[in-house]
Amino acid sequence: MSYQIADDTDTPRITPAVQWLIAINIAIYFLQLTVVRPEDVQQTLGFEVHDLGRSWWTIATYMFVHGGFWHLALNMYTLYLFGPRIERAWSAGEFARYYILCGLGGWFAHLLFARNAILFGASAAVLGVMLAYAMRWPDDEIYLFGVVPLRVKWTVAMLAAVNLVAGMAGTEVAGTDRLTGLAYLAHLGGLAAGWLYLRTSSATSLDRLKQRVSPIPDVPDETPRPIPRLPRSREKVQEVDDIVAKSKAAVARRQASSPPTPSPKVAPKRPDEQLNVVLDKIIEQGLDSLTSDERRILEEMSRKLKDRD
């Protein structure tokens, strides 16, 4: 199958979690070809029911072991096609947890329905990734065998149906062949675990929140203002101006109608006090600085003093 690039994404580029998952799978397969026999690796890292008590780690390690080159190539190519876009939409940690959870779902289904077979391969986890992609971008198209265009949602539905029929039929490939380890019912377990996670996890609600927020255009920042400027229509501006004008007119009428406030009367100063003020002014500024009233006060006080004499 090949991938048709959607309008809102570039060519699928490798992301950190997908890169690490592919690297681990390839490294273990390389060990199978060079250092350790494939059968020994499958026995050590693959899952079997009777080894559950003493080899508990095989619950997770089984999904990194493959039965052959094409088994590995198909799983890793599918992970490369669908994984990076999901990881970019979520995060590396969220994607890795989801991948492992789908793999554990495959283990649990195998434990229930195919107890006599050895389980290895990343198919359950990879199918979970395909399901997440189909639920997020259901109408994207892939080309089956590079020729037949098919939407992702129908591809996942077709794979689920094939796995269900093959698993229920109980064929050698469906879960009883000890050499290949292919268990179709385990694949369905990966799909089921992924579906439950996507229906109940906060990841999907976060995606929906991002989809709601992303269409909102960003408002450019403005220069800080002492008073925030609120958008007002012309009608609102006219209404506010009318209110201000009426308020000013009412204040003016009130000021005009109210009687003037009488200025407080200052008690007249005594003659001797007035004389002291005039004498102080003569000392400070000279005789020429006196006003006519001050000269009159000085003359009156002078006559009064002469009359006393």
129, 198, 260 from 102: Cα distances, Å: 8, 11, 91
* Residue 88: C-alpha distances to residues 2, 93, 193 (Å): 20, 11, 21
- Closest to 190 measured CA to CA, from 154, 159, 144: 159
Q: Which of residues 145 and 150 earns the better pLDDT score?
A: 150
Average pLDDT, the chain: 76
Contacts of 107 (CB under 8 A, 6+ apart): 47, 59, 60, 62, 63, 119, 124, 186, 189
The arrangement of strands across the sheet holding 141-144 comes to: 2-3, 141-144, 148-151
Alpha helices, H only, the chain: 16-34, 38-45, 58-61, 69-89, 92-113, 123-136, 152-169, 184-200, 202-213, 234-257, 271-285, 292-308
Q: Predicted confidence band at 286 (pLDDT cuts at 50, 70, 90)?
A: confident
CB neighbour burial string for 26-45, b if at least 16 within 10 angstroms, e if fewer: eebbebbeeeeebeebbbeb
Is the predicted pLDDT of residue 209 greater than 50, yes or no? no
Mean of pLDDT values over 123-132: 93
Cα–Cα nearest to 187, from 249, 269, 242, 123: 123
Cβ 14 vs Cβ 80: under 8 Å:
yes
Query: Above 60 in pLDDT, residue 281?
Result: yes
Cα(first)–Cα(last) distance of the chain, in Å?
137
Q: To the nearest whole percent, how much of the chain has pLDDT over 90?
A: 27
Q: How far apart are CA 24 and CA 1, in angstroms?
A: 23
Examine the pLDDT at 183 and tell me if it is beyond 70.
Answer: no
The region of weakest confidence among 91-105, 130-144, 216-230 is 216-230
Distance CA 186, CA 166 (A): 11
Mapped onto helix, strand or coil, the DSSP state of residue 145 is: coil
In tens, the pLDDT along 51-104 reads 777 788 889 999 999 988 999 999 999 999 999 999 999 999 999 999 999 999
Give the whole-angstrom CA distance, residue 110 versus residue 121. 12
The first and second tokens of residue 159, run together, are 């794979």
When pLDDT is cut at 50, 70 and 90, the band that residue 180 belongs to is very low
Give CA separation, 205 vs 63, 195, 209, in Å.
28, 14, 6
DSSP 188-225: HHHHHHHHHHHHHSHHHHHHHHHHHHTTSPPPPP----
Residue predicted with more confidence, 26 or 270? 26
